[in-house]
């Protein structure tokens, strides 16, 4: 990481779709698409972006079923890039495995990772992993309560509703520098997830690509208010991230003409509203770099000062050559201007974007991180022996009650 932390982080995220290019009729293979995604991630660092985030899916036409594997490979070929997810499925993954996988990614990346937790957008994934979609919100609440505990306590006893109990369990490896990865809670529409992020003092990531800004404004306002309610700081000190979507050419007419067939045939929004209607109703911006700058510089007026802006650029069948060209424009012409614009008149109390280095400094101060020494009182994962017997039920926690209140 650089010694100086940017006040805001800019980057890209991918949903890992394998989609036919409507202009050529060609569909890349899984192997080709995976290689292309790695190329795109590396180029994101080359053009000066801060973050690359990878989705998690377990069904065609998506390939990214194991984000940590891919992100670890990218970490080995980059030096500065923060590796994140968009999203990690908190409902259908075992919290123990999430704790292990992302702590391991912390170590191999030197702390250059965080994660966005979410419930996903594919209903059948629940029974594939032995869960009931009707329990989506209780699963999100309980699973994160356990994940949060696993990263902060060396020896964990646990009893909840959705998994077998744990007795004297130690998740390994322990988080790098004894500082867990930063967590964002991602949501498109669910106020209970905004409440969850606020309760823990974590970040809230609003997808912000499908619906009008007023919808996400309500979710973010709720998160900020509840963040302050739980004593983590003022509403303005809450940690907010936004999604976005752009396609650019020097001439806006060229951008519209080139992107239209991809928009019209995209699996997510194709065969629905016209591109003109969609760009008017949502943050999708198809045009010149200046149009993108004007649109996204105005996000602060809607949502307040925020910490992370990610753009969806690799999707809908766009060839890798075009995606790399888009990154050149984003990194060369758009982000440098947005950094300056969004830093203007930014109040001093607004936190910088979260990084591992900043979290370590907040915990240890000037003395710096202390290498974690194995706790002599750690549990025995084979026998279940532990000097601690504090059984915690997520369903009965104070947040469990608060988060499940409709409209909280």
Sign of CA dihedral 304, 310, 313, 316: negative
Model confidence at 396: pLDDT above 80? no
Residue 380 lies in a domain: yes
Residue 4 lies in a domain: no
Please report where in the chains the tokens 């919100």 appear, as a residue.
137
Cα 268 from chain centroid? Answer: 19
Residue 370 lies in a domain: yes
- What is the distance between the alpha carbons of residues 144 and 101, in angstroms, rounded to a whole number? 15
- What is the distance between the alpha carbons of residues 84 and 307, in angstroms, rounded to a whole number? 14
Strand-by-strand arrangement of the 88-89 sheet: 82-85, 51-54, 9-14, 308-312, 240-242, 203-206, 183-187, 115-118, 88-89
Average pLDDT over residues 199-203: 97
Model confidence at 403: pLDDT above 60? no
The pTM score is: 0.89
Average pLDDT over residues 167-191: 94
Model confidence at 218: pLDDT above 90? yes
CATH number at residue 95: 3.20.20.30
- What is the distance between the alpha carbons of residues 8 and 227, in angstroms, rounded to a whole number? 20
* pLDDT confidence of residue 56: 86
Q: How many domains does the chain have?
A: 1
Cβ(117)–Cβ(186) under 8 Å? Answer: yes
Residue 386 lies in a domain: yes
Average pLDDT over residues 213-217: 89
Over residues 42-83, the pLDDT tens digits come to 999 999 999 999 998 888 888 888 999 999 999 999 999 999
Residue 398 lies in a domain: yes
Could you tell me the residue range of the domain that residue 49 belongs to?
9-403
Helix (H, G, I), strand (E, B) or coil at 170: coil
**Cβ atoms within 10 Å, residue 209:** 21
Cβ(314)–Cβ(37) under 8 Å? Answer: yes
Of 91, 152, 80, give the one whose Cα is nearest residue 118: 91
Residue 408 lies in a domain: no
Mean pLDDT computed over every residue of the chain: 88
* pLDDT confidence of residue 372: 65
Cβ(204)–Cβ(197) under 8 Å? Answer: yes
Model confidence at 368: pLDDT above 90? no
Please report where in the chains the tokens 């004593």 appear, as a residue.
231
Question: pLDDT-based confidence at 119, cuts 50/70/90?
Answer: confident
Cβ(122)–Cβ(57) under 8 Å? Answer: yes
Average pLDDT over residues 153-176: 95
Residue 170 lies in a domain: yes
Residue 1 lies in a domain: no
Over residues 224-238, the pLDDT tens digits come to 999 999 999 999 999
Tokens, residue 78: 């980059």
Question: pLDDT-based confidence at 402, cuts 50/70/90?
Answer: very low
Cβ(20)–Cβ(27) under 8 Å? Answer: yes
């Amino acid at each position: 990481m650089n010694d100086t932390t940017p006040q805001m982080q800019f980057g890209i995220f991918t949903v890992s779709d394998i989609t036919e290019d409507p202009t050529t009729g060609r569909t890349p293979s899984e192997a080709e698409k995976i290689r292309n995604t790695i190329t795109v991630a590396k180029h994101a660092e080359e053009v000066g972006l801060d973050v690359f985030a990878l989705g998690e899916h377990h069904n065609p036409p998506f390939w990214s079923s194991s984000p940590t594997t891919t992100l670890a490979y990218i970490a080995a070929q980059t030096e500065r890039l923060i590796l994140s997810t968009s999203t990690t499925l908190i409902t259908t993954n075992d919290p123990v495995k999430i704790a292990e996988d992302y702590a391991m990614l912390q170590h191999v990346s030197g702390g250059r990772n965080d994660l966005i937790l979410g419930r996903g957008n594919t209903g059948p994934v629940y029974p594939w992993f032995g869960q009931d979609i009707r329990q989506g919100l209780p699963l999100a609440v309980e699973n994160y309560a356990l994940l949060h505990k696993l990263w902060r306590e060396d020896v964990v006893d646990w009893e909840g509703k959705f998994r077998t109990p744990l007795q004297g369990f130690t998740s390994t490896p322990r988080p790098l520098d004894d500082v867990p990865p930063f967590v964002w809670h991602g949501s498109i529409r669910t106020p209970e997830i905004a409440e969850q992020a606020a309760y823990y003092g974590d970040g809230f990531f609003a997808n912000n690509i499908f619906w009008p800004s007023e919808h996400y404004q309500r979710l973010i306002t709720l998160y900020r208010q509840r963040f302050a309610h739980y004593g983590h700081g003022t509403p303005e000190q809450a940690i907010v991230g936004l999604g976005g979507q752009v396609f650019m050419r020097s001439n806006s007419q060229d951008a519209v003409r080139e992107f239209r067939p991809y928009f019209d045939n995209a699996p997510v929004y194709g065969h629905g509203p016209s591109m003109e209607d969609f760009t008017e109703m949502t943050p999708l911006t198809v045009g010149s770099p200046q149009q993108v700058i004007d649109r996204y510089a105005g996000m602060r007026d809607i949502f307040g000062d925020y910490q992370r802006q990610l753009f969806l650029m690799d999707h809908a069948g766009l060839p890798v050559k075009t995606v790399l060209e888009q990154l050149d424009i984003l990194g060369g012409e758009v982000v440098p201007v947005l950094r300056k614009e969004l830093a203007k008149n930014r109040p001093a109390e607004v936190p910088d974007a979260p990084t591992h280095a900043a979290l370590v400094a907040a915990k240890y101060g000037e003395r710096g991180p202390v290498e974690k020494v194995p706790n002599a009182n750690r549990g025995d994962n084979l026998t279940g022996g532990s000097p601690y017997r504090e059984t915690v039920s997520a369903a009965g926690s104070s947040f469990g009650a608060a988060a499940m209140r409709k409209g909280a």
